[in-house]
Structure 1
Amino acid sequence: MTTKTWLISGANSGFGRHLSERLLSRGDRVVGTFRALGSVEDLSARWPGTFRPAHLDVTDPAGITAVVDDAWAALGRIDVVVSNAGYGLMGAAEELTDEQVAHQIATNLTGSIRLIRAALPHLRRQGGGRILQLSSVGGQVAWPGGSLYHATKWGVEGFADALASEVAPFGIGVTIVEPGGARTNFRYGSSVLADPIDAYDGTPAAGIRRILTERTTHGIGDPARMAIAMIASVDRDPAPRRLVLGSDAYQAIEGALTTRLAEVRAQRESAEATDAPLEGGITGGPADLNSETRND
C-alpha cells in the first residue's frame, strides 16, 4: 500500500476525527484543520511526525488560502483533500436569524467552495489527486426544520457535481459523500437549534426540535465503517461521483429520487408544449450548449 498525504478540514471531531485516526494509524500523513483550540493535541502527541495541525475557521477566506498554501509548501504534495468542516442549523426558516443564515452558508457552502478552489491550482500542477466533499443524505432529501442546512448541502452538491467534470481532464477526481445518520457528535454536539416561534408548535417543522431536545434517537451509521468506505473510495478509478453511506441514506435518497422522477415524467407533455416553434430546423437547449444556461 502506497502511503498518501491528506488535507482534512474539521479533523478534530466527527468524520474528520475518524478519518484522521485511521489514516495516521496506517502510516499516512494528515494535515488536519481545527477551529477549537486544544482539540487535536492528542493527535499531535500520538503522531508527531505525520500529523500536521492547522488552526482554521473556514469562514475566513484568507485563512483558507494560507493553510492550503502552507501545507503544500511544507509537504510538497497532497493526494487527497477532504472538505469536511460543517455543522447543522435547524429550525423553521422563519425562526432563523439573518446572522445564523449567513454563518451556515459561510461554513457549509462557501467555506467548502473556497477550500477546494484554494487546492485546485496545487492539484492541477502536481498532475492530479482526489477531492472528497462531505455532504449528507440531506443533500438529496429535504425535511422540514432543516431548510438552511439543506440549502447548503444541495448547493455544495451542485458545485461538486459540476466541478467533477471541470477537473477530470487534469486527473482530479471528485466524490460527494452522502452519509445518513451516524453516531458522531453532529446531532447532539455540533447542531445549532434556532429560537422557537410558537406558531410552529405542532407543525412538521417542529419534529427536528423534538429530536434535538429529547435526545432519544441515535443514528444507525457506524462512523468508523463509514470512514473506511471513504478511504477505500480514493483508490477507485474512476472516482465514484457519489458515495452513499448507511441504509437509511440509501432508502431516503432512493425514495426521494423515485418521487422526483415520477413528478418530472408526469410533466413531459406540458414541458414540451412550451418549446418555441422550429425556425429553419434550428433548435437548442442546455445540453446542446455544453450545459450553458441561457436567459435571452
Structure 2
Amino acid sequence: MSQRTWFITGISSGFGRRMAERLLDGGDRVTGTVRDVGSVKDLRDRHGDRLAVHRLDLTDGAEAITAVVDAAFHAAGRVDVVVNNAGYGLFGAAEELTDEQIVHQIDTNLLGSIRVVRAALPHLRAQGAGRILQISTYGGQATNPGAGVYNAAKWGVEGFMEATALDVAPFGIGVTIVEPGSAGTGFRTGGARLAEPLAAYDGTPAAMVRRIKDPSLPSVGDVDKMVAAMIASVDRPDAPRRLALGSDSYRYMHDALTSRVAELENGKETAFSTDLIPAG
C-alpha cells in the first residue's frame, strides 16, 4: 500500500500516541498536535521529517485550530486521514461540577472536534477524497451515572459527525465514529478529571466515578488491537459509520440501544395519535 499522510490531534499519549507510533513504524507520515511539544521528542528523534508536530490545545479557538490544520495540509500537500483524538474525561454529578469545568469539557471534546473538522473540510473537498476518524467512546451511545457532561459532549460530537457524514459523502469523504470501551491508555488514571464531591451523593450511583483513577480497576480492551482496527477501517472502501471496539463497548451500546428502541415502541400509539390526521 502506498504511503499515507495522517493528521492526528493529541499524540502525546493514549490512542493518539499508539496510532502515531504504529503509522510511523509502518512508513506513513504523521502530523500530530500536542500541548507540550517536548512530550514527543523521542518520536521526532526517531522518525525525523516523517513526523511534523504542532502545539495546539483544542480550547485555543477556531482561528488557532484552523491555522494548524491549514499548515498541516499545506506542508504535506495532501492529508489522507484526519483523526479527531484529543480530549479528556470529566466526571461527577451535575451539581458537583463547576460552570468552568463544564465549559472547558464542552469546548475541548465537542467544539474542539467540530472546529478541527470544519478546518479540514475545504482541503478534503479540494482533494476529492479523505477519511475522518472521530474517536468517541461507548459513552457516545450509552450513559453512566456521574458522567453526564462527558456523555453530553460525546453524544453531541457523534450527532455532529453522523450528520456531517451525510453532508460530505458527495465529495468522496468518509466518516467513521470510533467507540472504544475500557483500555489501558491512561485515560482514567492520567487524563480523567473529577469534580469536588458533595456529601449528598455519597453512596449513590454517581459516586462510582470517584474511583475512576484507581489503577486496580481492570480494562477489557487491548490498546494495540484497537489501534490496529482503527487503522484497518481506513482501508475499507466504504467508511463504516461506527466502529465499536471492545466487548464491553458492544454490550453497553447494545443494551442502551435495545432499551431505547423498546421505549420508542411503547410510545408508538401516543406518537401517531398526535398527527394532524391520526393513523387509522
Query: What TM bracket, shorter-length normalisation?
Result: over 0.9
- Look up the match of 1:270: 270
Which residue identity lines up with residue 206 of structure 2 in the other structure? A
Report the CA distance between 1:37 and its aligned residue.
Answer: 3.8
Which residue identity lines up with residue 52 of structure 1 in the other structure? A
Which residue identity lines up with residue 4 of structure 2 in the other structure? K
Report the CA distance between 1:3 and its aligned residue.
Answer: 1.0
Alignment of 1:27-106 (within 5 A): 27-60=27-60, 61-106=62-107
Which structure is larger by alpha-carbon Rg, 1 or 2?
A: 1
CA contact (8 A) 2:37 2:53 kept: no
- Look up the match of 1:121: 122
Which residue identity lines up with residue 169 of structure 2 in the other structure? A
1:51-75 superposed Cα distances (whole Å, 9 cap, x missing partner): 0011101111221111111111111
- Look up the match of 1:8: 8
Determine if the alignment matches structure 1 residue 242 to structure 2 residue 268: no
1:176-205 superposed Cα distances (whole Å, 9 cap, x missing partner): 000000111101100000101110101110
Report the CA distance between 1:210 and its aligned residue.
Answer: 2.6
Separation (CA, whole Å) in 1 of partners of 2:228 and 2:212: 28
Which residue identity lines up with residue 80 of structure 1 in the other structure? V
1:186-232 superposed Cα distances (whole Å, 9 cap, x missing partner): 011000001011101011100111333x4321211111110000000
Identity within the alignment, %: 60
Separation (CA, whole Å) in 1 of partners of 2:24 and 2:169: 28
SS of residue matched to 1:174: strand
- Look up the match of 2:183: 182
- Between structures 1 and 2, the one with greater helix share: 2
SS of residue matched to 1:48: helix
- Look up the match of 1:194: 195
Uncovered stretches (5+) of structure 2, i.e. residues with no partner:
none
Separation (CA, whole Å) in 1 of partners of 2:7 and 2:212: 33
Separation (CA, whole Å) in 1 of partners of 2:161 and 2:67: 22
SS of residue matched to 1:39: helix
- Look up the match of 2:108: 107
Alignment of 1:198-209 (within 5 A): 198-209=199-210
**Aligned positions, number:** 277
Report the CA distance between 1:277 and its aligned residue.
Answer: 2.4
Q: TM-score, normalised by structure 2?
A: 0.97
1:257-280 superposed Cα distances (whole Å, 9 cap, x missing partner): 1111111011111110111128xx
- Look up the match of 1:170: 171
Bigger drift between 202-211 and 73-82 goes to 202-211
Report the CA distance between 1:162 and its aligned residue.
Answer: 0.3
Separation (CA, whole Å) in 2 of partners of 1:215 and 1:94: 26
Report the CA distance between 1:9 and its aligned residue.
Answer: 0.1
Separation (CA, whole Å) in 2 of partners of 1:120 and 1:82: 13
Q: TM-score, normalised by structure 1?
A: 0.92
- Look up the match of 1:22: 22
SS of residue matched to 2:58: coil
SS of residue matched to 1:77: coil
Report the CA distance between 1:128 and its aligned residue.
Answer: 1.1
Separation (CA, whole Å) in 1 of partners of 2:170 and 2:59: 30
Uncovered stretches (5+) of structure 1, i.e. residues with no partner:
279-296
Which residue identity lines up with residue 112 of structure 2 in the other structure? G
CA contact (8 A) 2:189 2:212 kept: no
